[in-house]
Each structure stands twice: as structure tokens, then as C-alpha cells.
Amino acid sequence: MIAAMLMPRGAFSAGEPQASDIVGRMAVHEVRHEETIPRLAQRYGLGFVELMAANPGVDPWLPGEGRKVMLPSAHILPDAPREGIVINLAELRLYHFRRDGSVATYPVGIGRDYWETPQISTAITLKRKNPVWTPPASIRAEKPYLPAQIGPGPDNPLGDFAMNLGFDSYVIHGTNKPLGVGRRVSHGCIRLYPEHIAILFDEVSPGTPVRIISQEIKFGWSDGALFLEAHASQEHADAIETGAIANYPMDVSSIAALLATVPGAADADLDWPLIEMTVRERRGVPIQISRRPRPEF
């Protein structure tokens, strides 16, 4: 059973400085008639792929009434400076490190094959409410029927809010297609649910640093225990979208090398069979890997 405290608008700290490397809490939802995984994902502030990864074997469109679905709403913070915005492509998730020391995190949609979102360090350069979308040449080449511009409204793929980055034409924005959040489906821009971009838009200003990284494996400490969180590669995320269940190859030496960079890990009594299972399954949830009384998830 997962200890539950629901956070449907994204996982937030309590407004105090972040002492733990983990933000949010795990939860469980009992499926009701006609509920789908995409609907539950948006309701609980999660992405489609991360919800599927946490619940292998569940049918995304007919999960089954009465079924218990794990809500992966706890996250180890990425290994990056804790300021401004950090986007971890590997977990399809954005972290906003607020000035008061609290953290908000939201699922995002990112670039698909051949249009991958780049790993860069940049900043917010411009904020636009009710933006006008001008299809770039790359998209017009695929869809020549598009108009020269699309103004504010339900047909605008940028949604109601857009924030330009200082790198080419990349933008953090809302969307008129929420199903694309938590998936690799864009031409490189970063999409958020409409309700999430509205919050983020109000809280950040031009000049806010933005770091885009990709970390499939994350480690973090909480209450004296070491946790591991493992996410799918793009190849395996594509398989997850179809409902496939796959174990990943386990390279003990590479995981050991990563652990060697974690302060304090060398002194921890680590559960290596659990580490290997967590990396093979890659369910995207924090798992305690140091031996001590474990919380009941």
C-alpha cells in the first residue's frame, strides 16, 4: 500500500525551504467506471508515460473499475543547481525552485524523434499571455495548409501562455492538446497542462534561469535514507506508450560509478538486489535502497 497524500495540481513542498531531496508524496487511486489513464494523469498532475511506467500492464483506456493505480507523485530532485527552472527530459518533468526555497514540479511534453528538445542552459527571455503562434518553416514543411498565424483561442497550440527561451525558437507553453503532456510528441518545445502553465507563468519573470538536462537515474537522501529513482530511455518510453512491459539491461558497474558521486553513499548499507531490480523495472518512483526500517509505500 502506498502512503497517500494527494496533490492534484502538481507536487509541491509546503512552502518551506526544501530539506529533503524528495518532493511530493506517493498516492493510490481506485479506478472508477470509464476513467482512463490520460484522464487520471491530468487530474493528478502527472504525465501519461510516467503513470504508465508506474503501473506496468495496465490498459491505458480500460484500466478496469476498482483497480488500484499507483500515482507516482513523489520525485527525487534532479542533480542540478536548485534555482529557477530545471527540466529533466528523461522523466518528462519540470521543476521550479522558488525564491522562498519551496519547489513545484509539473509533467511536460517534449520533442519527439528527430525534433528532440536540446540539453541547454538558458533563461526566460519573454512572457506572452494569449500568444500568437507563427508556424516555423520546419512545421510548415510538414503541414503546408497551416495559416501564416494563429491567434489566441482554442486552435492555438501554444495555449494561453508562452515563455520564450534564449535559444533559437524554443518555448515553454501551454497546449490545446493535453494528451501530449508527459510524452515525446512536440517539435522541441516544452508543453504543460493549461492549469500548470498558468501557475508557472505568474511565478516566474524574464531572466529566470532554465536548465534542460537528461538524467534517467537519480539518487537522493530523505530522513537519513538513500533513495533511487530510475526512468525509461526514450526507446523504452515509446514501448511503454503501447502498454509493453520490459526489463532493462542492468549494468552494475555504471550504477556503482554513479553511486560513487553521491555524498554519503559509500558509508550506506546498500541493498544491491533491490538496486538491480529498480534499475531493471524503471518505474519512475523513489525506492529506498539503504537498509534501515523502510516506510510503507
Report the catalytic residues: 173, 189
Among 223, 218, 227, 231, CA closest to 288: 227
Task: Yes or no: say if 3 and 297 are a contact pair by the CB < 8 Å rule.
Answer: yes
**Beta strands across the sheet bearing 217-222:** 217-222, 225-230, 287-288
Task: Yes or no: say if 285 and 228 are a contact pair by the CB < 8 Å rule.
Answer: no
Task: Yes or no: say if 291 and 271 are a contact pair by the CB < 8 Å rule.
Answer: yes
Copy the grid coordinates of residue 180: 501530449
